[in-house]
Chain A
């Protein structure tokens, strides 16, 4: 952490609101995008981002400088989004369509036309298709994959953010990707 950033955090911890606003400015976009990746809805992402910074403001005194501020703030974001997704899963009224009676994913429910990679890369709908497919993964798989490939976190950073081991992160990613392949069809690089 460079000394400027450290100084801003110290000032914010001491109650300097201007310093805290600087922290918001530095991280707001990333927090918003991360929340969107995990929730797939900009309005909800905006509400979560707001809650993240209010929580950070309230809990700044518990933040330990030896960890990075960004990791801390992304962890708050990820935890809030995971809670929202859990509630959504619990409240979902039509789970039968996507899951079998044992709660397992019904893998017969593929997209109607398995897309080819060239088409996917050119397709402006790609992101949306991926988002749709990602909703069929477990919350942890989706979170790990979003952090890794949309937010470009390292597996170490993801482990810190999600509060698990790096091996667990890799399992979530690997299993998630395997499931995505089944959902989207086997794409081939030519």
Chain B
């Protein structure tokens, strides 16, 4: 079992004997440290109460009723068209907050976009020697493709600024939160397509950046109004810690360089 030097302070936290500032710092650490979280779970009386609460007893006929109803429902499914699930159903499930799971999105990205844009630019690239160069900078890529990378990261930058400026509860009243969420959901879908492309190009630097972006997009896409007071500061802190804006600006600069017309 790993140890952590914050561990010994957890009893003090639970006993309420830490100063407010120290308590807050420890709480912030606790949710990112598996060791301290496990220690907190062990020591928390409320967690013990929850864990020991006896399982509820279902009414006597519940299971039998469930089984007979399910048998009927499945039989009627067999009569339906095999075309289910169709594209609309899948698309609807992505844009329904709460269902934005990775795999649904991946499937949807394939369905919605069908064939990846610009297949022609997916030609194999020779082994990269030296530090990895983002695909956007590769000479073999069309201007159109570089522009699409540029668009994505331009939007990413704007989204991040938008998220940093969100505040609770104003963002709920102005419906800003829904707007931000829908952008993040849309970008998550597009990110999947870009990742496929980066993978085919063997562009690990781009892939890594997109994965890091995904973590962020994921959290923003799932940010619900009622969790905002807890989650928004966490996401904003994450953005600061990740230092992702600097990376995005670097990529943007490089893409601008790459498509700059030759000067005479």
Q: Which residues of A contact B (CB under 8 A)?
A: 17, 20, 24, 28-29, 32-33, 36, 42, 46, 49-50, 53-54, 57-59, 62, 64, 67, 75, 79, 82-83, 86, 102-104, 117, 120-121, 124, 126-127, 130, 138-141, 145, 149-150, 155, 163-165, 167-168, 170-172, 174-175, 177, 180-181, 184, 187-189
Cβ of B67: which chain A residues have Cβ within 8 Å of it? 28
Is A46's CB under 8 angstroms from B98's CB? no
How far is B107's CA from A85's CA once the two chains are assembled, in angstroms? 26
Cβ of A17: which chain B residues have Cβ within 8 Å of it? 74
Q: Which residues of B contact A (CB under 8 A)?
A: 27, 30-32, 34, 37, 40, 44-56, 58-59, 62-63, 65-67, 69-70, 73-74, 77, 84-85, 96, 98-103, 107, 169, 172, 215, 218-219, 222, 224-227, 229-231, 234
How far is B62's CA from A137's CA once the two chains are assembled, in angstroms? 28
How far is B66's CA from A82's CA once the two chains are assembled, in angstroms? 21
Residue in B30, B62, B99 whose CB lies within 8 Å of A32: B62
Residue in A149, A155, A172 whose CB lies within 8 Å of B47: A149
Cβ of B32: which chain A residues have Cβ within 8 Å of it? 167, 170
Is B230's CB under 8 angstroms from A46's CB? no
A103-B225, A150-B53 given; A79·B98 CB < 8 A: yes
Identify the 10 closest CB pairs spanning chains A and B, nearest first. A163-B101, A149-B50, A170-B31, A138-B226, A175-B230, A127-B53, A189-B45, A171-B31, A149-B51, A46-B66
Q: Which residue of A lies closest to B75 (CB)?
A: A17
Is B219's CB under 8 angstroms from A168's CB? yes
How far is B53's CA from A165's CA once the two chains are assembled, in angstroms? 27
Cβ of B37: which chain A residues have Cβ within 8 Å of it? 155, 170, 174
Give chain B nearest CB distance to A155 CB in angstroms.
8
Interface centre among B40, B67, B227 (most CB of A within 10 A): B227
How far is B49's CA from A127's CA once the two chains are assembled, in angstroms? 9
Given contacts A83-B96, A150-B55, 15 further A-B pairs with CB under 8 A are A17-B74, A28-B63, A36-B58, A54-B70, A64-B103, A82-B98, A120-B49, A126-B49, A149-B53, A163-B99, A163-B100, A163-B101, A164-B222, A171-B31, A184-B46
Is A79's CB under 8 angstroms from B62's CB? no
Give chain B nearest CB distance to A97 CB in angstroms.
16
How far is B51's CA from A92's CA once the two chains are assembled, in angstroms? 30
Is B65's CB under 8 angstroms from A171's CB? no
Is B101's CB under 8 angstroms from A174's CB? no
Q: Which residue of A lies closest to B226 (CB)?
A: A138
Give chain A nearest CB distance to B248 CB in angstroms.
20
Is A140's CB under 8 angstroms from B219's CB? no
Is B46's CB under 8 angstroms from A180's CB? yes
Is A117's CB under 8 angstroms from B69's CB? no
Is B45's CB under 8 angstroms from A54's CB? no
Residue in B48, B59, B99, B107 whose CB lies within 8 Å of A79: B99
Interface centre among B49, B62, B215 (most CB of A within 10 A): B49
How far is B38's CA from A174's CA once the two chains are assembled, in angstroms? 11
Cβ of B58: which chain A residues have Cβ within 8 Å of it? 32-33, 36, 42
Residue in A36, A58, A164, A172 whose CB lies within 8 Å of B56: A36
Q: Which residue of A lies closest to B16 (CB)?
A: A186
Q: Which residue of B lies closest to A61 (CB)?
A: B85
Give chain A nearest CB distance to B144 CB in angstroms.
32
Is A126's CB under 8 angstroms from B54's CB? yes
Is A171's CB under 8 angstroms from B69's CB? no
Is A130's CB under 8 angstroms from B230's CB? no
